[in-house]
Amino acid sequence: MVWSTSHAVRVQHASRLRSLQQETIAELEELESFIEARLPANVNTPVNAKLRRALERDVAAYFRALGQAMPEEALEQLYYRYVGQE
């Protein structure tokens, strides 16, 4: 009978230890996410994602304007005028 009581106590302790380990891992993962979100170089932060979308819009607008200001035909003429045919 002593063995079964001692065994039951060890099982309870082991179960509680597993539970504490899982809680600790969850807290560490939460802390990691919090720290990761604060890193300036992290592209997944909300601020950097917003800046990335704004930059994409600006670059797209720039190249649209560039395409209207100087069509491809004009580039071809300039190339052959200054570089020439080989």
Q: What is the pLDDT of residue 72?
A: 82
Q: What is the pLDDT of residue 47?
A: 85
pLDDT along the chain (86 residues), means of 10: 70 90 95 84 83 95 89 83 75
Q: What pTM was computed for the model?
A: 0.47
Q: What is the pLDDT of residue 24?
A: 96
Could you give the C-alpha distances from 47 to 2, 18, 29, 38, 52, in angstroms and in order? 62, 38, 21, 10, 9
Domain of 57, in residue numbers: 42-86
Q: What is the pLDDT of residue 78?
A: 84
Q: What is the pLDDT of residue 1?
A: 47
Overall number of domains in the chain:
2
Amino acid of residue 74? A
Answer yes or no: do 33 and 70 share one domain.
no
Answer yes or no: do 47 and 83 share one domain.
yes
CA distance 27 to 33: 10
